[in-house]
């Protein structure tokens, strides 16, 4: 029992002395850091002890350039130089004024070439379109033109299956085959393209409609 009592007393002494040792070590470290920091701040605060960069500064000051602040009342719209310091004229050293370079043009007068790029606008087939009248204005019958256009519109219905055979409804149509606006357009005439599939579709459609009628 005696040795157990000695061990218990020894452990109590160790646990009591350990926190005191840690606190003393922290205080010593804090005192040392406080002694070092003022020296560093003093070294940084003194500009004479800072390392100077090896860069030359040959730029003139604003006074050397003749810069001065003017009051707002002295500012005018006249941009001509009067008594102020003018910049040095270095053009004589770069260009031969008396030679042939003074008479040589700065830039050649080249031709400007413009290229026309067609757009990619597409639309579905226009079965009732009148291109000679609507696009080029070549067919104009004066006061009778509305009546003629109405007859043409009504006459397109019987030939609609044939037009569908020529240009399917889902096929995109571009305006690249027509003449450009403002260009000289020759005299054009109405024409009908011939295709066997369009003709068979026309005959089959009307034959079927006739058979469906009672």
| Percent of the chain predicted with pLDDT > 70 | 54
Q: Where are the alpha helices (DSSP H) in the chain?
A: 2-45, 91-94, 131-134, 145-156, 160-166, 196-212
Number of domains in the chain: 1
pLDDT of residue 38: 46
The set of residues, in sequence order, having a beta carbon less than 8 Å from that of 43 and lying 6+ positions away, is 49
Residue 33, in any domain of the structure: no
pTM above 0.85, yes or no: no
In a domain, 205, yes or no: yes
State the pairing for strand pair 122-123/173-174. antiparallel
Average pLDDT (81-95) is 64
- Domain hosting 143: range is 122-180+190-212
Residue among 187, 179, 173, 186 at smallest CA distance from 116? 179
Measure the CA–CA gap between 198 and 107, rounded to whole angstroms: 61
Kindly list the distances between the CA atom of residue 25 and the CA atoms of 11, 28, 68, 156, in Å, as whole numbers in the listed order. 21, 5, 64, 108
Would you say residue 200 lies in a domain? Answer: yes
Of 21-25, 144-148, 176-180, the range with the lowest mean pLDDT is 21-25
At residue 134, does pLDDT exceed 50?
yes
Domain-embedded: residue 86: no
Judge whether 133 lies within some domain.
Answer: yes
């Amino acid at each position: 029992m005696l040795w157990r009592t000695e061990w218990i007393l020894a452990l109590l002494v160790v646990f009591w002395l350990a926190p005191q040792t840690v606190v003393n070590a922290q205080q010593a470290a804090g005192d040392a850091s406080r002694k070092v920091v003022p020296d560093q701040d003093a070294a940084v605060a003194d500009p004479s002890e800072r390392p100077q960069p090896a860069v030359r500064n040959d730029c003139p000051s604003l006074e050397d350039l003749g810069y001065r602040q003017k009051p707002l009342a002295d500012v005018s719209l006249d941009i001509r130089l009067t008594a102020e310091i003018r910049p040095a004229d270095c053009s004589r050293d770069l260009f031969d004024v008396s030679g042939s370079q003074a008479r040589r043009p700065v830039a050649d007068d080249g031709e400007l070439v413009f290229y026309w790029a067609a757009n990619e606008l597409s639309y579905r087939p226009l079965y009732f379109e009148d291109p000679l009248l609507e696009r080029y204005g070549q067919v104009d019958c004066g006061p009778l033109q509305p009546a003629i256009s109405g007859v043409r519109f009504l006459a397109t219905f019987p030939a609609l299956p044939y037009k569908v055979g020529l240009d399917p409804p889902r096929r995109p149509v571009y305006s690249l085959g027509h003449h450009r606006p403002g260009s000289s357009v020759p005299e054009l005439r109405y024409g009908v393209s011939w295709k066997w599939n369009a003709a068979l579709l026309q005959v089959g459609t009307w034959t079927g409609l006739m058979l469906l009628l009672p």
